[in-house]
Amino acid sequence: MRRRFRSVGTTAAVAAAGTMMLLGGVGQASADVAPGTYTSTTLSSTGQVLLQRDGRVVGDDLVLIGRYRIHPTPAGGYVDFFPGHRVFMRSDGHGGYRGPAFLGGLVVGTFTLTPHR
């Protein structure tokens, strides 16, 4: 009986660590999303624009329709727009950010922040 509980606990810990690696980790950040003005675009998995609008990053917030906290990750950050809808922003190497958009734990498309120049 004791062995079964240990196995379940080990499996849960391995699954949690794998999920954190897949989603970009949520530990100490070595990079964040730079302040400035951006065009925010959410694309469907087929590449169609679902939502596009101008916004800005101010401090630790992404300001679009509302103000959303940016949680830092080693490669950029992520935002929870509402429960179950999370987008990741990883540096694209050109001043912008790009990452997967999740809904209910499933990847439903791509999120980008393109800087205004």
Q: What is the pLDDT of residues 37-94, one digit of tens each?
A: 999 999 999 999 988 999 999 999 999 989 999 999 888 899 999 888 999 999 999 9
pLDDT, average across residues 97-115 = 95
pTM over 0.85? The answer is: no
Alpha-carbon gap, residue 35 to 46, rounded angstroms: 30
In 3D, which of 24, 106, 112 has the Cα closest to residue 73? 24
